[in-house]
Amino acid sequence: MRLQLGKSLICASALAYSEKNMQTLTVKSLKTEIHPQTKVMFWFLFASTRGAATRIRIVKLLQIQPYNANQISKELSLDYKAVKHHLHTLEKNNLLEKFDANYGATYYLSALFEENFSVFNEIAERMNL
């Protein structure tokens, strides 16, 4: 996948496959109408990378209530460092915010995520997660 910031989407040739039904999921196949760059970001984070399924699970947990990294790792039975990596990735892309910058920081969904919740739901549904 190639993406040029500030310009239109160049290529959406990378494919994400659902393990259950092998549906092809590309940026162009998403039906939700949002800003094209936001759609690409959601597709990249939640559909096209190896950690996409884990990020979907983390976000679904955070939809219920805010958690810290340790609580997320226990709830989802994931390695703490892996959880920290995914939280950092989501925070870097402005989809999560955290309360307190210390060790026990609590993470919650950002306003950007809330505004574009529909595209996340579409991706998660099509990935059967």
Q: Residue 26: what pLDDT?
A: 67
Residue 90: which domain range? Answer: 16-126
Residue 88 to residue 120: CA distance in whole angstroms: 18
The CATH code of the domain that includes 56 is 1.10.10.10
Q: Residue 80: what pLDDT?
A: 96
* Non-local CB neighbours of 119 within 8 Å, separated by 6+ positions: 30, 32, 34, 38, 39, 42
Residue 40 in contact with residue 27, Cβ under 8 Å? yes
Tokens of 114: 């809330």
Tokens of 93: 């892309």
Within-domain flag for 3? no
Average pLDDT over residues 93-108: 89
Q: What is the pTM of this model?
A: 0.74
Total domains present in the chain: 1
**Whole-number percent of the chain with pLDDT over 90:** 51
H/E segment holding residue 36: helix 36-43
Within-domain flag for 93? yes
Q: Does the structure show a pLDDT above 80 at 109?
A: yes
CB atoms within 10 A of CB 46: 25
